[in-house]
Structure 1
């Protein structure tokens, strides 16, 4: 099973099956294929409303969510592209505030896939899943009226399919950390060699000439790389600690050259969410395509929802297994995510950890920061993917590690006391939301 291959709509499923048969040709990197695919489709990426384009290791999806809710609080119609989806592929494309319909999704995927393999248009492009997805979302955004677009990159930024955009109202850079190293740190003597600097280069390369690049602050070498990359792209740089800043306590105290704002803390759990909200505010404050009032910013921060990011699960079939207890769900799987989860849970009671983690991820990224705050460790599969075995995780924990066929069984076997954290993979998180009846809308 592939994470994108299931839909209850037969027309969508037919196109997802075609997507599932695609693979990235060995050794092919670059944007030539997606550019040619979009050319065959009439270059929809050149006919979009103003775009806010966001990259980063962690926090980019949350930053996009804050942007969306603040823009919508201003009364604007917003197209949003985020990834990955948790339960339904439709979650990747939101049109004027609503998830794309099955009928339109099926039509656009078919149009993009047909254009890639139509001999009358040229040789078969053999596009990847991500290239077809990007072409389809550009078609949707170009054809359905809206005031603004918010687009999240996938891996990296420089070679991400969304980076064929010629311009943006504003580019944003969230947290930087090590993840997807096999792709983002592939050897290239012409590029920065220090790992975090290379990550910074890849992600900051979404910068566009004359378009503001708004960033957080980073370690010295990474910040120097971001600055050099912005300069190379002729993009004005607005970095935290220099062009803007935010102090976070019981509110977000935001400050830049235009003045000071006091904004509410997000309802989303975790102190890092206030940092993501501040970045979104800074992006809105350093662009000129749309005007957003402080009142709309505050309303958007309060209203923002983003599933599977320290989400407290509601009542449902899974949480009924552990009545009266808090069940946290987070798709985190890298060191930055592990630290953010641990910081939040430090003020909460200890938790039983149920973890399903892809085999190519480091278990210590999550289990290490949790430390003694973990009451027990239960291992479950990451649905549809190769996952770590119990013995793999046992090496990273002083606690005994038990194995279960799924989250339902793991919850049922827990002791009668103690809250719960389900963590390790967005694929696992999507399965949990589906099983608990909390499908994102």
Structure 2
């Protein structure tokens, strides 16, 4: 197969279906001679913040002249984004070579009576092959969904585990309560593998801490006491870490949202542990200041912001940033929202309407098969606000609309990473990784 045929094959694999067992994925890895097994692997789970933590950690390690393979999901514009070697997406040639190795091995397994891997399982194994061929020293793995049963959890002995913030999402799969969801995320904890986790949510903190103790795991907690907010200047946030590592000097991050401080600190502590340093080098500080997070309140063109917030916890933070930027711009924004059917948009939309002030709200349907129609989203908005509602059925016809509105006011587009990807693609944008 050529590159386009390989991508088409992968996209034809069911995405949201029953997972295979971890032993199934391990068997596939074993048949491939367990690629990546000798690398220093950091395994990252959580509801929100996983991608940001992965990017911060990757950048810090690169700043220390280490080679890093990073596997994240979903991609925003192009599937190669999921496989980063340092900051570069895997080449089409590298992608295709890994694809053929996995494809051929899968066919051997099927001949033995094994099921075909799911979409995510196939991509995860491809990532391990890609990183083995690139001979990276460090691998950063973001879980796809949950943790305990996620394909990435087939890695038997990572170097470090990280769990980011926990909140309601994918309840039909992970459980209805925070405790149940936290239990699934805590499933990545492995005996004697150090853990760093976000402990701001009390219920999840108790579950994760107990799991760590039961597994004899050394752990560190990052929460609101781990830093002091010093100043917010537009996109620049200054903070003072309050850990035994800091030198009592002010750090900065260059992304919107105070919540990103905790994500940065999770990565900073992780890097210090991985590199076995008892202090934070000045290079850490410089790297964190210059790190950019694609798809997280990203200004893709002037005055048009995109954010992947898709559950109530993430939307709550996105609304805070939206209000901050609008106040600084001294203009009521346009808020564009989209959603996929398994998200709790009937709770999210009322929150948006009561926690933001907008010139008007707009809704758009996604090309994704799980996308909720613009008409259905508009009905929920009409139930919760008297402001004007603009309905668009696809992103292409939305682009001229948001471009014209952004001449005089900020436009915020959120509700799904699929929306972020479609908007960036339509605007001719790309992820921060190189093509």
The corresponding residue for 1:189 is none
Matched, 1:196 2:178: yes
CA RMSD of aligned residues (A): 2.5
The corresponding residue for 2:379 is 394
The corresponding residue for 2:420 is 429
> Aligned match of 2:308 in 322, 331, 337?
331
Q: Write the deviation string for residues 296-330 of structure 1: whole angstroms up to 9, x where unpaired.
A: 21121122122111001226xxxxxxxxxx11111
Instruction: Give the drift of 1:261.
Output: 4.9
Instruction: Give the drift of 1:388.
Output: 2.3
CA pair 90-26 structure 1, distance change in 2 beyond 3 A: closer
Q: Secondary structure at the match of 1:337?
A: helix
Q: Which moved more, 1:277-286 or 1:56-65?
A: 277-286
> What is the number of residues matched between the two proteins?
412
Retained in 1: the 8 A contact 2:178–2:204? yes
Q: Secondary structure at the match of 2:4?
A: helix
Instruction: Give the drift of 1:406.
Output: 2.9
Q: Secondary structure at the match of 1:348?
A: helix
Matched, 1:407 2:379: no
Retained in 2: the 8 A contact 1:265–1:301? yes
Instruction: Give the drift of 1:143.
Output: 2.2
Matched, 1:352 2:338: no
The corresponding residue for 1:42 is 33
Distance 2:410 2:63 in 1: 35
The corresponding residue for 1:246 is 227
Distance 2:285 2:324 in 1: 25
Aligned runs of 1:122-201 on 2, under 5 Å? 122-185=112-175, 195-201=177-183
Instruction: Give the drift of 1:162.
Output: 0.8
Distance 1:351 1:170 in 2: 42
Retained in 2: the 8 A contact 1:169–1:289? no
How high is the TM-score relative to the length of structure 1? Answer: 0.86
Distance 1:439 1:33 in 2: 35
Q: Secondary structure at the match of 1:256?
A: coil
The corresponding residue for 1:78 is 68
Retained in 1: the 8 A contact 2:366–2:395? no
The corresponding residue for 2:235 is none
Retained in 2: the 8 A contact 1:78–1:147? yes
Instruction: Give the drift of 1:29.
Output: 5.0
How high is the TM-score relative to the length of structure 2? Answer: 0.87
Q: Larger % of helix: which?
A: 2
Retained in 2: the 8 A contact 1:57–1:177? yes
Distance 1:313 1:25 in 2: 29
Retained in 2: the 8 A contact 1:171–1:212? yes
Structure 1 residues without counterparts, runs of 5 or longer: 1-9, 186-193, 316-325
Retained in 1: the 8 A contact 2:44–2:143? yes
Distance 2:16 2:140 in 1: 29
Matched, 1:377 2:361: yes
Distance 1:27 1:78 in 2: 31
Distance 1:341 1:176 in 2: 16
Instruction: Give the drift of 1:161.
Output: 0.7
Retained in 2: the 8 A contact 1:79–1:95? yes
Instruction: Give the drift of 1:196.
Output: 0.4
CA pair 290-160 structure 1, distance change in 2 beyond 3 A: farther
Instruction: Give the drift of 1:118.
Output: 1.6
Retained in 2: the 8 A contact 1:330–1:426? yes
> Aligned match of 1:306 in 293, 296, 300?
293
Distance 2:60 2:154 in 1: 26
Q: Write the deviation string for residues 54-109 of structure 1: whole angstroms up to 9, x where unpaired.
A: 11111110011111111111121211111110011100001133210101101111
